Amino acid sequence: MNIVIIGSGIAAVTAAAELRKLHPGTELCIDMVSADTPPDYTRPRLPEVVAGTADPAALTIRKADWFAARHITLHNPARAVRIDRAAKQVFVQKDSAEYGLSYDGLLIAAGAQANRPAVPQPGSPAFGSVFALRTMSDALALKAHLAPHTESAVIVGGGLLGIEAARAVKHAGVRRVHVIETAPRMLPRQLDERGSELLSAYLEQTGLIVHTGQAPDLKRLETERAAEVFRAVCADDGIETVLYSVGVRPDTALAADCGLACARGIIVNDAMQTSDAAVYAAGDCAEFNGVCWGIVPSALEQASAAARMMLYALYGGAEPARYVQTVPSAMLRVGEREAVSGGKAVLTPEEIGSGRYALVHREAAAGAETEKSAALYAKAVIDLQAGTVAGGLVFGTQGAAAACARRLAPLIGRPEADASVFLEELIPNAV
């Protein structure tokens, strides 16, 4: 039996490892096709490369010997250029050659591409100054650019990655770093108004310049200097660098070209199968029940489920557990502050108006945090209809997030009364 995996990110490698763990026999051939170099590295640490606090080699997770020891044939650097579903073949381009890989099962774990609202072309005043941060090559290009351009930079996007990127750019020696968020507050999907207010104040203390509720016309970067585009927002004529952190687009090109059903991502069912039962998808490129998560927990869960279901389809046996929608969670560490959220932590205006949810929150007095209680602000969202905890968030001092995350996750779905106990234990002396 032959399984081909397209991609080498966390979903692809997790699936490969799970396949070999569940089926050690080498009669199962596993081929992995990856265009990225190195093929397996920790992408969340790319800001450290930009900041100069980590060598690129330190980000490598699994090297060639790991794949070889597990009899996983790695095609790298190589690119999957098309899929022939009728012949069950993936065509691969490596160097100047093209060849086909036959499959009994195919997993597309192609990930996602960074959104780039405008890409200045040669001859444009902004050409060479606009970046995204998604791959190792992105990080190296940005780092090289920043070395002689240390006056001022703009990060477009105030989400988790945008904040980490902004801190990296600041650490790389840029004097003024502006963070522009179109929403009224930072981390609008992870933090509520008060949590975001505390975060913004801390970011300003660390030297970042935060602008919320701003939506500059990014298309102007195609014809104008960055300083001109952002002057009205930043009042800064020294802007030499623009870094996009405005989300990603699931990479559906191969899937769409071979006729698989796609919407925003590659549509899959709870077996991680696409519209072709022999082709699976997982990770940032996959869409389940209308959702493309684009987060590490979903990539891990989907990849493991895909591996189990592929082996079940090929070899039979007891039917394994299918994929269940991921419960979203997020953790952010910014200097001496941390934030963690899980479940339905931030309500939409429609949910607020529905009357179905209630909020319970506590906040510590200034300077009240202790070694025992590092939380500064915590909130739980109660589903009044079910009588259970729907989600929650915590903002606190260094060391708070990891401890709170372990306690917050099991709380979701528990009875409403557990929320008050949780909050009182986190912040015993609330204002």
pLDDT at position 399 is 74
Average pLDDT, the chain: 91
Overall average pLDDT of the 50-79 stretch: 94
Which 3 state secondary structure label does DSSP give 429?
A: coil
Q: What is the DSSP string of 246-284?
A: S-EEE--HHHHHTT--BSSSEEE-TT-B-SSTTEEE-GG
pLDDT, one tens digit per residue, over 208-259 is 999 999 999 999 999 999 999 999 999 999 999 999 999 899 999 999 999 9
Closest to 374 measured CA to CA, from 418, 407, 346: 407
Overall average pLDDT of the 97-110 stretch: 97
* Confidence tier at 282 by pLDDT (50, 70, 90): very high
> Residues 6 or more apart from 366 whose CB is under 8 A from it?
none
pLDDT at position 372 is 44
User: Residue 144 and residue 127: Cα distance in Å, rounded?
Assistant: 15
What percent of the chain lies above the pLDDT cut of 90?
A: 71
pLDDT at position 374 is 67
Cβ 81 vs Cβ 100: under 8 Å:
no
Q: Is the pLDDT of residue 38 over 80?
A: yes
pLDDT at position 402 is 66
Question: What pTM, to 2 d.p., does this model score?
Answer: 0.85
pLDDT at position 140 is 97
Overall average pLDDT of the 84-107 stretch: 97
Overall average pLDDT of the 263-269 stretch: 97
Q: Is the pLDDT of residue 430 over 80?
A: no
Q: Is the peptide bond before 38 cis (omega within 30 degrees of 0)?
A: yes
User: Residue 309 and residue 18: Cα distance in Å, rounded?
Assistant: 11
Q: Is the pLDDT of residue 332 over 70?
A: yes
Q: Is the pLDDT of residue 101 over 60?
A: yes
* Confidence tier at 371 by pLDDT (50, 70, 90): very low
